[in-house]
Structure 1
Amino acid sequence: MNRRLAIGVGAAAAVLAAGGGVAVLAWPDSADPTVVAETVTVLPPDPAAEQPEIKTDLNTVEIAASSGGGDVDVPERETKRFSLLGITWSDPVAAPDGTIEVRTRSVKTGEWTGWQSLERSDIGPDGAEAADTARRGGTEPLWVGASDGVAARIAGAGSGLPKGLRLDLIDPGTETGGQGAGSAEESSTGTGGQGGGVAVTESASPDPSASTAVSEAPTEEATTTAPTTATTTTAPAATAATTTPAVTTTTTAPATTTVPAPAKTTTAATTAPTTAPTTSPVPTSTVPVKAQFPAYVNRKGWSADETIVKSISIGTEVKALWVHHTATTNDYACSESAAIVRSIQTYHVKSNGWSDIGYNYLLDKCGKLFEGRKGGVETPVVGAHTQGFNTNYAAISVIGNFETAASNSTIEKVIGQVAAARLGKYNYNPTSSVTVTAGSANGKYAAGAKVTIQRVSGHRDADATACPGKNLYARLPAIRALSVEQITGLALKAPTGGAASGGVYYVKKNVGLSWSVTTPTAKIARFEIYVDSKRFSMPAASARSATLSLAAGKHSIVVRAVHVSGSHAQVGTTVFGDVTAPAWTAGMAVNLRTGTYSATSAPVTLTLSAKDNAAFAGFTVTKPRSAALGASAKSWSTTVKPGTTVYTVTARDVAGNARGAQISRKVSLLAETSAKKTGTWTTVKNSAHLKGKALSASAKGRKLTWTFTGRTAALLFTKTAKSGKVAIYVDGKKVSTVDLKSSKNAYRQAVWTRNLSSGKHKIMIEVLGTSGRPAVISDGLVYGN
């Protein structure tokens, strides 16, 4: 946003920058917009939106207005604390005819500023958002820093002042932990190398492989001591430097690290850069540049208030990027940037009545990029930034007034990368031009007007405004040239030296990295490898692989490719160093199971239980036969020959560590003849029975009892169409009733098994004399020690 060209831009901006004086503003009325319909998808408000972690507070002061000229003075008064202010009025298309000035009292010094001019906002929505009855007209918001007093004076002229004048005072809230506005810890949600940039929150440890937030770019200049804690300087243009732990190296556990953090496209400087690159010739190629979207602070990171967001519209593409400036102030610390963004959202929604913050992206003077309007940084979200040219465009607004301030190389590199990424997604080259149609009328073009613009253009190219300020506007050719000087096609291949599980790679100690990139080597300055935000090494431009030695624990690894222009792209992964073998938690046990038994085969189940400190892979069985079991395996079913069997199993983790275990268990067959008989039992001979014979009884109450010492048992029966039911007792207590009927004859069937405590046990069967099929044929009992 910035000054309408018709209102004396230079004078107004100079007064604002100087913090005093008077600027005479002549604001013409705007006609109601005529909207040209475009295809959009409307997303309704989220009814389950969470409250923001940092809440803003809007306080208003009603101002009486004259309908026929006249002056209005708001004398100095004490207020609740605020940091951003603006003046709004009821009719969004009305315009004050006169001057509006404010002065504020600093919380820090208690001193009053000089008079500062406010000017009518020159950004706004189109379509349904423009027709919202909650809309109000308003001035540009002004960032004044922590203040607790305000005064205003309005000099009416000509047609006078609009109705419903209101002074809006916004408190951006306080960061947790007493860190000051905008300076909190940051965390990562993506690598930024797979179709999206790295989101930056300002609340947790960074992790490039996660899928919700990142810290600022890890740099060798970051020299703070505590890991993942942002620090703030007192310089006017200070920025938070990401703090990182030193990477220690020993012969046994090198590169001790904890949580991953991908690099961000900012520097570790404490003040905004002051130099800008010289303008390079703009390439004439129309080939799209498939650049990576740069790292950014996501909405959660700057504590956007999602509860106030109204319906959001999504277009179909991004055909041009508008460059704006907020024109709020140049006198801010970069640690305040998140607070400024929060305040602008509150002003745009609660004061202007828009659906959300107007811009798609905001960028501070230190190069920190912020996600703007809700909907996703790589989605064609319809903003409220360039009236008549909001649908199927994107807008980035640099925090500051570049009518007076100079641009710098960091700002320009980020704008160039945003342009390349957003336009390249839709196969547009950022250095090309396009003919567009005004969707509604503004101060410069009528609705339906055809305009040929550069795909990276300033706000003034679309409307009657000085935005983005003469100094930033003059740098647009250089920005276009930078936009095609990007790292493209950077991809990280699967690491070597271990194995992956759940998106994390596990190694014992050494991990091999390899990557590919489509940018010619001659255009690459170098590669940089970061481990947990600390630069680990700087491979040459020709390198495509590296080996890292890691200590135990979880690490983020980021490979950054740096272009000769200074722009960069990065990809990351999470690697876990693990030198600890799995632990057996409950040993192994062998239990008999149901099935067919013989003198040479007994069905058994081997139970296993092990865990790992990082990622368990499974078991490898080598005896009595080979088998591979997965990480979720709790048992293994097999058959063994009755007698003593050795079971040898190795528990493995994903990194390759292993711990073996072995047990020896005996399976014994007790023939029916070894049981104590109660009543008459008849011997049945058939080669299908164990040792060719079995015992049969039909009379109710007949019993067989076995006594043994062991920990698992199975009763064997022959099942026929005439077989009846039998009751089973263990150590004198009835535990089950089993029906032995079968449509086909089946011999030596374990139809009942029981795991027991190790020791001496007594198992008895009792014939129940089932009507019509009373016979029970016992093949004996099997037990295991």
Structure 2
Amino acid sequence: MKRRVLVALSTAGLVLAGAAVYVLVDGGSPGASPESRRSPGQVNTLALRTMSSTESDTAAQRPVMGLSPTRTKPFSLLGVTWDNARADLDGSVQVRTRSAAAGRWSPWRPIGANNDAAPDPGAHADRPMRGGSEPLWVGPSNGVQVRVAGKSGALPQGLRVELVDPGGERREPAPQAAGDQPDQMTLAGAVSTTDPTPPDPSASATATETTSPAPTDSASPTQSASPSAEPPASPSASASPSASPTATAPTSTAPRPAIVSRAQWGADETLVKNPPEYAPSAKVVFVHHTAETNDYTCSESAEIIRSIMLYHVGYLDKDGKEVGLWWNDIGYNFLVDKCGTIFEGRAGGADKPVIGAQTYGFNTGSSGVAVLGDYSSTAELAKPGAVGLAPTQAILSAVAKVAAWKLGLHGGDPTGKVVMTTPIDNGKFKAGTAVTFNTVSGHRDGFATVCPGRMIYDKLGTVRTEAKQWATPATSVAVTGISGSTKVGTTYYTKGTVTLSWKPAAVSGYEVVVDGTVVARPTGTATTAKVTLAAGSHSIVLRATNIKGTTVSSPAYPVVADATAPVFTTPAGLTIRTGSVSTGGSTPVRLGWKATDNRLLQTVKATSPSAATFTPTTTSWSAYAKMNTSMAWSLTAADAAGNTASSAATRTTAILHESSSVRTGTWKTTTYSYYLGSRAYYASGKGATASYTFTGRSAGLIIKRATNTGAFYVYVDGVKTAFIDSRAASSAYRQIIWTKNWSTSGKHTIKIVVAGTSGRPNVITDGIAYVK
């Protein structure tokens, strides 16, 4: 059985007479060598006394209590406490300490006057909890000076400084520097600095304390020297605490991070007063900072946490007096140091909804994660020249990991919200107030405090995002768009640069993979990525990397990079086409072309004289040209990648009326408003001719067609070219019935020769239309 022995030692040989030093000795296991023993932590207290303005260097009208420079037993953390936990210290607390190693005194340091973490009030406490300041880690020290100045009115009763030695492996006392002893220094524990009678050197006294072995998660420690119990936490919202979990904690949606157990950091389980209490679930993770110095090494983290536990919990000293704040256990459920190491806090099972003492009024149904150190902003620190310390990524990631895991045990969403109701007036919210919290919130969201400091509080959005990544890793990822490209079928075509877009997912990062090679690594918050591709066909994959290290990939997207423009193998050319010439002079024409592309021709568009869009296989456009007017005919061909090419022709269409023809044989005039110029020539005698001479590149004969009109021969530049029958089922005027085209413009003669068709010999000409 483990034994703790409180031994009163004579101080014969010490510099100050009349002083007695009490050393708490860990008996260890039978037969254990002294070298293998660990020294237990302990708390020593010194009562503060009323100080004069001369002593305190403070205005006389302000109440001041403190302690002159005093030699003490070894300690590494301190705090100032008072009798009533619910009494606020309206004022300031300043301390300075003497380094055990260097023997030098530190500058004055302020500490938070009121500890803003506390258990919810209970109904069966047989010992009232003490009020206290924030704890301050000062490192190994052996002297202290304290100054507590009230703003107005009286200071709380029972003010004293608690000096916490975290215990640990036994170490040789550090050498003392000579000549660095402040005046009026006294030794902590001295019976009286003015008592002239020294104690009997032969006197000794012992006290023993027997404890049971350290408990498991569900075990209840017993402590004969500390019989009283911490009051249980009151329920908040509809949750009711219980003495043990109602069921085994479920598997979390997030992986359990590495957590240093209480046994590993050296928690003294004999100090814990009552079995842990549990809420139905942990719905919110409140983030804290311990508001002490950041000037510590991560190798000291366990000592700091042991010190905080001793300060929070306390015990009965040799005189039966409570030291520390007299809580049931350390208040926080988890602690994180500046290296990102996660430590188990309050006992009862890290995976269970243990009710802590960390967000007064909302302890039930929440879990508290405290970062060791002070992360207040410069303004919050309110110290000349102070600079707030920004949390490292290791800190933020550690908080995110433990928050994701803890919330995931109860189905919580790290980026969600939840409503909690405080059963008490906690100074920020009245009893019965329903408050909506982020599932990962700062202490200040639930209590009137600057905790966890602006530097951490402003990063909680980042913590939530990373926690979400741990809790809900992506199981699939898909590209929602590839801008800068055109999709044809299942293939995307681009000139060379595309921008991939996707829906946000809970991942730590992305990779854009082209033909098996990673070409871009967007962050986990990105939703787009720009990629430039070499000419040719490619396969693009978007790969998402979960924060756990697993990956998921999108389907492969075929993308063709093509910077080559289409080609008009046949440039735009305007010709006369068959059809009706309008009485106003608009002539039917055809714009012809042929465009090709090395990859995929997508469209051909006309941009003038009007807009029109054609399929890639279209090679002509039937339109009308205004007579005797120069008109620009423009085309743009585009391939699937968006490369373009243009072709244009500026042409004038003209009419050569029948009166301009050279005729042989008998031709007569016929008048009617449907003819061009309201008249036309006709002949019926076989062999009668009409010749039209012009300079152009395309021409067409304009005639009347009817049931009784006959046939004729066409000669081009003296060569018989065609035989045309003008007969039709019904009368049609101004009809272009025959056309002829040339590759270049030139002078040409078109002649018609009447064939003398039996029964319908008449041939009626209305002139020719041609393109100059």
Same fold, TM-score > 0.5, yes or no: no
Give the TM-score taking structure 1 as reference length: 0.42
Choose 1 or 2 for highest CA Rg.
2
